[in-house]
């Protein structure tokens, strides 16, 4: 394994150079459809490409124990079939989890704890760029963590996690505030094979560094590669275009919807199983017909040769149990898909109404559920339902979102806004939750919702976004305003502040899997997003003054201060929130 520090913009240039000659882009009339256009050239892959065999990587026990000891945490101990380390703080055994390692696969997660990182005694000055590079380089080149093999590893851009808080003061008294500051910096590794970037569920690693300069978190899903067979890449440019068009077609059926394919690159796909397989990786920007909804990014794959393991297809036929549907002519009533098992936490997933023609809505939800169900703590998906706005806003929400401990809702969105039909229609608005006679979420509103995962673009604008918003007041604390009526005993809201890549099944499974093991669910979210989407490129923000370049997939969360550091299994009843924290990824 070789290791090079390559800035993101240089990495893109390097990848393009490696692609060699590109197919010429044909005139739009010959190649494009009215709703799908190709702005990216098609790279010509090598005539023969290497397939890589994957094997589980040895569990990094010594590496991880060293890092745990450095922050005064207990070392790993074997519990049933996994190695686990627990800290002293947390209400439950799940809350106290700080690290776990699967000795069979080698998958590893050392979870930061936001409650510790925002203590008054924690250093407030952020770590310097030079020091984060030094600390991250040492960890990510440590062969105990990422062993040397026939692939190459490069640094991604380091990502800062900011945090700030405020109290609610209905009486008009001055609120108590915690000014935003850097609380954590996450450094991702990016894998390359034969000079091409690797995507997928596997081949991801990060280390997280506190302001003190010590490592307080790490994640690894990274199997060891060796040379396998070499395969012919006989697919033509027209066949690649046809596959991309077929996969994108379900997403441009609504009036005014339009997709622009703006990136195609030769790459490898890693399903975290047995192979790295050569693919064309493509990205498209989907423009909604409704300007209330932001553009979205869609990413997918076209296999370049014989397929040895499944490779995701955006237009695959739906499989498995299908979500329930409430017909427009019917009176909306609560409907339970399956009864809860005593002792389980309950999950409700609500999938965009377009799922019959766009199966990726199902795969992203199923990926999260599969990950969350992979742990030893049981989870019951009691609601598996087609999404409607009235499940979120209105009296029926008590039978839907507020009837489960964990709710998962899907694209597409914008600031405090989300559609339930395609990327345009039947929209719910966060400011309408808990206001105008509509109930909020949590025990104080007569329900049980503790964690709400909003897997959608931009729905949780951060303090920074409100402070720098075009036409805004310049007061970042307005980011909290819409959420007070929502947090009626609710613990967490987890999502994004910028445009996300869709459907991102790998992120959904990875986050669900980490949450299933316990530990700080918000910190796990930030590490997973950094690992899978930390270096997905930038776009000009249409919300911020001056339209600066912001990164795709920048996470943002709102947390009741009483629930800092808690796991997804912390679902106890509590009163309405009096103090909220907002954590977010910087640009």
Question: What CA–CA distance (Å, rounded) separates 560 from 492?
Answer: 6
* Residue 85 main-chain phi, psi, to 5 deg: -125, 135
Distant-in-sequence, close-in-space partners of 264: CB < 8 Å, separation ≥ 6? 40, 41, 42, 43, 240, 244, 280, 281, 282, 283
What pLDDT does 7 receive? 33
Residue 318 CB-half CA count within 13 A: 16
Question: What CA–CA distance (Å, rounded) separates 445 from 437?
Answer: 11
Asked if 146 and 220 count as a contact pair (C-beta separation under 8 A), the reply is yes
**171 pLDDT tier (thresholds 50, 70, 90):** confident
Asked if 148 and 123 count as a contact pair (C-beta separation under 8 A), the reply is no
Question: What CA–CA distance (Å, rounded) separates 351 from 491?
Answer: 22
* CATH fold for the domain made of 347-585: Rossmann fold (3.40.50)
What pLDDT does 91 receive? 86
DSSP conformation letters of 154-169: EE---EEEEEEEEE--
Give the pLDDT mean for 317-323: 87
Question: What CA–CA distance (Å, rounded) separates 97 from 84?
Answer: 7
Question: pLDDT (tens digit, 9 = 90+) per residue, 36-52?
Answer: 999 999 999 999 999 99
Give the pLDDT mean for 153-158: 95
Higher pLDDT, 331 or 383: 383
Question: What CA–CA distance (Å, rounded) separates 80 from 92?
Answer: 18
What pLDDT does 11 receive? 31
What pLDDT does 154 receive? 96
Question: With 80 as the cut, is the pLDDT of residue 4 above it?
Answer: no
pLDDT exceeding 70 applies to what percent of the chain? 91
**237 pLDDT tier (thresholds 50, 70, 90):** very high
Question: With 50 as the cut, is the pLDDT of residue 5 above it?
Answer: no
Question: What CA–CA distance (Å, rounded) separates 47 from 52?
Answer: 16
How do 42-43 and 579-585 pair as beta strands? unpaired
What pLDDT does 252 receive? 87
Widest pairwise Cα distance in the chain: 71
Give the pLDDT mean for 407-414: 93
Instruction: Please state, as a whole number, how many other Cβ atoms lie within 10 Å of the Cβ of residue 34.
Output: 8
Give the pLDDT mean for 84-91: 92
User: Which H helix or E strand runs over 68?
Assistant: helix 61-70
Give the pLDDT mean for 62-70: 98
Question: pLDDT (tens digit, 9 = 90+) per residue, 495-513?
Answer: 999 999 989 999 999 999 9
What pLDDT does 33 receive? 63
Question: pLDDT (tens digit, 9 = 90+) per residue, 510-553?
Answer: 999 999 999 999 999 999 999 999 998 999 999 999 999 999 99
Asked if 389 and 426 count as a contact pair (C-beta separation under 8 A), the reply is yes
Question: What CA–CA distance (Å, rounded) separates 241 from 464?
Answer: 39
Question: pLDDT (tens digit, 9 = 90+) per residue, 444-496?
Answer: 999 999 999 999 999 999 999 999 999 999 999 999 999 999 999 999 999 99
Question: What CA–CA distance (Å, rounded) separates 126 from 130?
Answer: 12
Of the ranges 347-351, 376-380, 407-411, 557-561, which one carries the lowest mean pLDDT score?
A: 376-380
Question: With 70 as the cut, is the pLDDT of residue 102 above it?
Answer: yes
| Three-state secondary structure call for residue 301 | strand
* Residue 196 main-chain phi, psi, to 5 deg: -110, 145
Q: Which of 54, 208, 95, 55 has its CA nearest to residue 528?
A: 208
What pLDDT does 20 receive? 31
What pLDDT does 424 receive? 83
**294 pLDDT tier (thresholds 50, 70, 90):** confident
505-517 and 360-372 helices cross at what angle (nearest 10)?
20
* Residue 205 main-chain phi, psi, to 5 deg: -155, 145
The beta-carbon contacts of 165-170 under 8 Å, at least 24 apart in sequence, are 165/118, 165/561, 165/579, 165/580, 165/581, 165/582, 166/477, 166/480, 166/579, 166/580, 167/578, 167/579, 168/480, 168/484, 168/577, 168/578, 168/579, 168/580
Q: Which of 411, 470, 154 has its CA nearest to residue 288?
A: 411
| Three-state secondary structure call for residue 544 | strand
Report the mean per-residue pLDDT for the chain. Answer: 90
Question: With 70 as the cut, is the pLDDT of residue 331 above it?
Answer: no
Question: With 80 as the cut, is the pLDDT of residue 27 above it?
Answer: no
Report the b/e string of 241-255 with b at 16+ CB within 10 A: bebbbebbbbbbebe
Question: With 50 as the cut, is the pLDDT of residue 407 above it?
Answer: yes
User: Which H helix or E strand runs over 259?
Assistant: strand 258-270
**Can you count the helices (H) and strands (E) in the chain?**
10, 32
What pLDDT does 494 receive? 98
User: Is the entire prediction scored with pTM above 0.75?
Assistant: yes
What pLDDT does 241 receive? 96
What pLDDT does 466 receive? 98
Which token pair is 61?
């026990």
What pLDDT does 13 receive? 27
Domain with CATH 3.40.50 in the chain: 347-585
Question: With 50 as the cut, is the pLDDT of residue 29 above it?
Answer: no
Which token pair is 306?
């014989």
Give the pLDDT mean for 133-147: 97
Higher pLDDT, 262 or 340: 262
Question: With 90 as the cut, is the pLDDT of residue 378 above it?
Answer: no
**CA dist 385 to 181, 372, 373, 525, Å?**
39, 18, 18, 24
**327 pLDDT tier (thresholds 50, 70, 90):** low
């Amino acid at each position: 394994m070789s290791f090079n520090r390559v800035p993101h913009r240089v990495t893109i240039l390097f990848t393009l150079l490696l692609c060699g000659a590109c197919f010429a882009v044909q005139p739009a009339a010959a190649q494009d459809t009215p709703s799908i256009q190709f702005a990216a050239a098609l790279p010509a892959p090598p005539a023969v490409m290497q397939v890589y065999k994957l094997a589980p990587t040895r569990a990094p026990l010594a590496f991880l124990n060293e890092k745990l000891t450095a922050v005064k945490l207990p070392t790993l101990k074997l519990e049933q079939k996994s190695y686990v380390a627990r800290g002293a703080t947390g209400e439950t055994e799940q809350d106290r989890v700080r690290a776990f390692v699967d000795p069979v696969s080698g998958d590893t997660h050392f979870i930061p704890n936001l409650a510790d990182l925002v203590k008054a005694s924690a250093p407030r000055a952020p770590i310097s760029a030079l020091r984060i590079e030094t600390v991250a380089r040492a960890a990510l080149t440590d062969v105990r963590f990422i062993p040397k093999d026939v692939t190459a590893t490069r640094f991604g851009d380091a990502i800062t996690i900011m945090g700030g808080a405020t109290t609610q003061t209905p009486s008009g008294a001055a609120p108590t505030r915690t000014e935003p500051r850097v609380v954590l910096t996450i450094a991702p590794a990016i894998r390359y094979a034969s000079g091409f970037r690797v995507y997928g569920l596997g081949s991801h690693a990060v280390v997280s560094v506190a302001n003190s300069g010590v490592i307080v978190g790490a994640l690894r899903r990274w199997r060891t590669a060796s040379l396998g067979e070499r395969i012919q890449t006989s697919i033509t440019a027209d066949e690649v275009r046809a596959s991309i068009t077929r996969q994108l077609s379900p997403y441009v059926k609504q009036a005014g919807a339009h997709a622009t394919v703006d990136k195609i690159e030769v790459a490898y796909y890693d399903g975290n199983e047995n192979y790295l397989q050569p693919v064309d990786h493509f990205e498209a920007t989907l423009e909604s017909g409704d300007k209330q909804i932001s553009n979205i990014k869609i990413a997918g794959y076209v296999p370049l040769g014989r397929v040895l393991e499944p490779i995701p297809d955006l237009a695959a036929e739906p499989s498995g149990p299908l979500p329930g549907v409430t017909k427009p002519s019917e009176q909306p009533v609560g409907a339970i898909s399956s009864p809860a098992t005593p002792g389980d936490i309950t999950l409700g997933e609500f999938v965009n109404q377009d799922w019959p023609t766009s199966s990726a809505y199902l795969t992203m939800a199923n990926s999260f559920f599969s990950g969350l169900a992979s742990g030893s703590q049981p989870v019951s998906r009691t609601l598996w339902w087609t999404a409607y706005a009235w499940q979120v806003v209105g009296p029926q929400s008590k039978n839907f979102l507020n009837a489960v401990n964990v709710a998962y809702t899907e694209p597409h969105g914008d600031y405090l806004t989300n559609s339930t039909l395609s990327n345009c229609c039947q929209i719910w608005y966060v400011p309408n939750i808990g206001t105008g006679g509509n109930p909020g979420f949590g025990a104080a509103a007569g329900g049980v919702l503790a964690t709400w995962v909003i897997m959608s673009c931009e729905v949780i604008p951060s303090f920074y976004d409100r402070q720098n918003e075009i036409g805004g007041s310049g007061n970042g604390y307005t980011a909290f305003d819409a959420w007070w009526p929502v947090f009626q005993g609710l613990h967490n809201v987890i999502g994004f502040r910028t445009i996300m890549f869709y459907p991102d099944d790998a992120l959904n499974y990875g986050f669900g899997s980490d949450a299933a093991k316990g530990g700080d669910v918000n910190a796990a979210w930030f590490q997973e997003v950094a690992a899978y989407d930390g270096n997905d490129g930038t776009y000009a923000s249409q919300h911020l003054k001056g339209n600066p370049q912001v990164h795709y997939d920048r996470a943002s969360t709102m947390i009741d201060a009483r629930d800092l550091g808690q796991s997804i299994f912390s679902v106890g009843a509590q009163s309405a929130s009096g103090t909220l924290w907002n954590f977010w990824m910087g640009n």
